[in-house]
Amino acid sequence: MSLLQWNESYTVQVTSLDQQHQTLFRTINELHDAMRAGHGKDLLGKMLQRLIDYTGSHFAAEEAIIEKNGYPELAARRTAHQALVKQVLKFQKDFEAGAPVAAVDLMQFLQKWLNEHIQNTDKKYGPFLNEKGIR
């Protein structure tokens, strides 16, 4: 059972960023499924690192597009992205230290953050970028 289900309510109307968000959903779901299946710490650690790496590349791509097009809320977006990375790195450290609650807390955090971030923040830049001809 997937933790996150992509549907059209998540679209930001920019194809490349929607595709990246869908990849984030899939990656989080794979990590969630592996945790539920009781996979070993090594595999989960690699999957968590893959999520961290992909999130970083997604944030860089998103920020580049909105910066290039003069999106006025770029600084706030960078701050939000940095806060997420910092929190996920803390979860990674806790996970590697064997904290038993870290996996559950991580999944709840990612689910809440991704839902709120896309629905309440990312959707704002869609119309702005669409007006600039970016779809």
| pTM, full prediction | 0.90
Residue 127: both structure tokens together: 């119309």
**CA nearest to 21, candidates 126, 114, 113:** 114
**pLDDT for 15-38, tens place per residue?**
999 999 999 999 989 888 888 888
Name the pLDDT band for 1 (thresholds 50, 70, 90).
Answer: low
Neighbour count for residue 47 (Cβ, 10 Å) = 19
| Mean pLDDT value across residues 78-106 | 85
Which residue type occupies 46?
K
Task: Give dist(CA 95, CA 42) in Å, integer.
Answer: 11
Percent of the chain with pLDDT over 90: 59
Residue 100: both structure tokens together: 């038993």
**CA nearest to 30, candidates 55, 50, 16, 9:** 50
3-state SS, the chain, equals: CCCCCCCHHHCCCCHHHHHHHHHHHHHHHHHHHHHHCCCCHHHHHHHHHHHHHHHHHHHHHHHHHHHHCCCCCHHHHHHHHHHHHHHHHHHHHHHHCCCCCHHHHHHHHHHHHHHHHHHHHHHHHHHHHHHCCCC
Name the pLDDT band for 74 (thresholds 50, 70, 90).
Answer: very high
Task: Give dist(CA 47, CA 44) in Å, integer.
Answer: 5
